[in-house]
Amino acid sequence: MKENLTSEGKNKLYKMKIRKMLAKEYFVLNLSLLIMLPFSIFGCGNTNTTSSEPISTQNTGYEVVDDHGTLLKFTEKPKRIYATTISLEEILVELVPPERIAAISEPALEQDNSLIVNKAMKVAVRVPQHVSVEQLLKLHPDLVIAQETNAKEYVQSLKDVGFKVFVSKVPVTAEQVKKRIRNMAIAVGEKEKGGQMLAAFDTKLKRIHAVVDKIPAKKVIMAYSPLGVFGSSKGIFHAICTEAGVINGAAEAGLTRGEHLSKEKIIAVNPDVLLFPSDTPSQGGDMQGVMEEVRHDPALKQIKAVQNNCYVYTKDRYRYAASQYFADAALLIAKGVYPEYFK
């Protein structure tokens, strides 16, 4: 007779299952190595010990501390890296060549939404947006870069089966985005490339501030998703607005994270500009219908943005850019809101 398991019991069974799968994977891998060994000894007459690999395995040891304070040590650069979210993938494809990425997610390949389609297409293996521990075992990554928003149980399971896991917090300021890029660059052994990315990031922000800091009256912007106006003062979009030299109307109205603004508060703030995605939002929904409703809503006809037909459009990914594209997003919004200053 089956008994109902406690959650602790279920966790133990799950971990046992994972360990069995890992043991099986390692057995197959070791067997393959044993079969190949004679060929590696006798099969080729070339005795040159110089590796043709682009990554040196000599004198390349280093270490890095992730955002949870965990110290990760490396004897060489990781060669099979997997990142768990699209924002982490955006950074990863810029830091390392495609052959060092174990797999890329399907959203990264979407022509309409992704900012990294061309680079993502060069990665050989494609996987769904959410990959289970069991699926990851088959990819044999030597480094998993996980976002803090991934379920704690999932991240712990990755560690339990033996993966080296670098945890990255979700940035909500420009400085935190830079820290994410810097630490990821160290983790993958590409500190110099990371420095180049940060220099480009700073150059874009300096270009923006050289213009917008001289604008006497800053304009108020409100951004729409399929569910309505979003953008609390504690989110990444608010930081993008700050760098773009615009006032985030949702934050001015006191919007809290995870909520959307009421029509009454939108009218009270009276935004100068409305921001819409130029593509299908990542969360889906009828964005075209929302835009039409806003434009023709009798109550909203009194706000300045609708009266003056002031609408800005960007790819949806830019509005949540927690990667190097944060700077691009700020520049796009600044140009859209203040076109007369960016001629």
Give the span between the Cα atoms of 149 and 85, in whole angstroms.
10
Mean pLDDT of 34-42: 36
For the whole model, what pTM was predicted? 0.82
Mean pLDDT of 50-63: 52
pLDDT at 68 over 70: yes
Among the listed residues 145, 32, 159, the one whose alpha carbon sits nearest the alpha carbon of residue 90: 145
Q: 222: exposed, middle or buried (C-beta count within 10 Å: 0-12, 13-18, 19+)?
A: buried
Indicate the DSSP class of residue 6: P
Give 3-state DSSP helix, strand, coil % of the chain, rounded to 5. Answer: 50, 15, 40
Cα–Cα dist 116/220, whole Å: 30
Q: What is the pLDDT of residues 230-259, one digit of tens each?
A: 999 999 999 999 999 999 999 999 998 878
Alpha carbons 256 and 232: distance in angstroms, whole number: 5
**Residue 43's pLDDT is what?**
35
**Closest C-alpha to 22, from 143, 129, 159:** 159
Q: How confident is the model at residue 32 (pLDDT cuts 50, 70, 90)?
A: very low
Residue 45 pLDDT? 34
What is the band of 209 on the pLDDT scale with cuts at 50, 70, 90? very high
Question: pLDDT averaged over the chain?
Answer: 86
**What pLDDT was estimated at residue 150?**
80
Q: What is the C-alpha to C-alpha distance for residues 112 and 50, in angstroms, rounded to an integer? A: 44
Flag whether pLDDT at 47 surpasses 60: no
pLDDT at 85 over 80: yes
